[in-house]
A and B are shown apart, each in its own frame.
Chain A
């Protein structure tokens, strides 16, 4: 019975995390698209020249 309860709780937790993940990603997608449109292709000085970021990490 304990095991059944535990597995039910863990299912609920997983479902909640999936929901949180999807909500966050949907919000980010909308915000990023809107900001891109507002910026009109102009990259601010603070974000220029940092394109070498994908170095291999040991």
Chain B
């Protein structure tokens, strides 16, 4: 099936997010706006305007009532999903790289960048899913990492841990309540560019500029799987239903002038999650893929590119039918 092309942004895409049901797709870009689309036909429902800088993250609570966004204008904003009204703004000293909820959306986690003498910091706020509520402005927990800046972070299952990816390629596990550092393990040789949990959050995937992706066990940070690509990776997602992962990346913008789009490797790559082999590629973008998300029901995926486009794919029968011989021989009972 042909992908749906979404042309609602004028600058590179930075983040995509499906709501829990997967009927809505939120997109952020460097053009300071957030868009929301119906995922099945690509119709744009609305735009959230108010940020003064590039957007870096977006999350929506599980009831699709409230949206949080983080931006390079040093703010996190809270929006009413259905009207686009900005309800609240949190201000910080530096750019916001991550703004995300835990699984019950009773915690909001924000990562601010290390810059101008300020340390990279994880801030955790209590949160309530209530349009009328005044949300807490004082964090109940802050975590700093003076030596090794944060690139990504999120809460695990039961909000038991905070898992963070670092610029040096390592991953940290913090106690979700106290913020105590429990573990830090080397995972990649270069910066961690994405960190996405499996649906039940017991494992997660990291991608890196070192051209590899890895799956780690949330509980002990053991490296379970490694996937090797031929280009720097910006993003990786785990597919429900099928045992695949989807990776995206490509040559950095600064190197692209010397390469054609074919050489730039701007494809979504499918790997078998368990066997670690590459099993297919999907062309389409003409710049690096900055973010990939999979529909929560596993029926499709969306990719956002440096080229300013979002491509929404719905999987066809061949995707669901694909099995290795050994999987066919030994079906899961």
Interface of A with B (CB < 8 Å)? 14, 17-18, 20-21, 24-25, 27, 31-32, 35, 38-39, 44-50, 53, 55, 57-58
Contact = CB atoms under 8 A, between A and B. Distances in A.
A35 B200 contact: yes
A9 to B, nearest CB: 15
Interface-central residue, B200, B243, B325, by most chain A CB under 10 Å? B200
Nearest to A39: B158
Contact of A20 (B21, B63, B203, B275): B275
Contact of A45 (B21, B105, B158): B105
Nearest to B325: A14
A23 B84 CA distance: 47
Nearest to A16: B275
A57 B293 CA distance: 20
Nearest to B314: A57
Interface residues of B, number: 33
A20 B325 CA distance: 13
Nearest to B297: A53
A50 B326 contact: no
B23 to A, nearest CB: 11
15 contacts: A14-B325, A20-B274, A21-B326, A31-B202, A31-B219, A38-B157, A39-B158, A44-B104, A45-B62, A45-B63, A45-B103, A47-B200, A49-B20, A50-B296, A57-B299
B330 A21 contact: yes
B139 interface: no
B326 A18 contact: yes
Interface string B1-24: 000000000000000000011000
Closest 9 CB pairs of A and B: A44-B103, A46-B103, A45-B62, A17-B326, A53-B297, A45-B104, A24-B274, A46-B62, A31-B202
A48 B62 contact: yes
Nearest to A24: B274
B322 interface: no
Q: Interface residues of B: mostly helix, strand, loop or mixed?
A: loop
Nearest to B225: A24
A38 B202 contact: no
A29 to B, nearest CB: 10
Given A21-B327, A45-B104, A53-B297, 9 more contacts: A20-B274, A21-B326, A25-B332, A31-B202, A31-B217, A39-B158, A44-B104, A50-B20, A57-B320
Contacts of B200: 32, 35, 47
B50 interface: no
Interface in B192-219: 199-200, 202-203, 217, 219
A58 B317 contact: yes
Q: Identify which of A18, A31, A39 gathers the most chain B CB atoms within 10 Å of its CB.
A: A31
Contacts of A53: 297-298
A45 B199 CA distance: 13
B13 to A, nearest CB: 23
B175 to A, nearest CB: 15
B158 A50 contact: no
B278 to A, nearest CB: 15
A17 B20 contact: no
Interface in B157-185: 157-158
Contacts of A50: 20-21, 296-297
B103 A49 contact: no
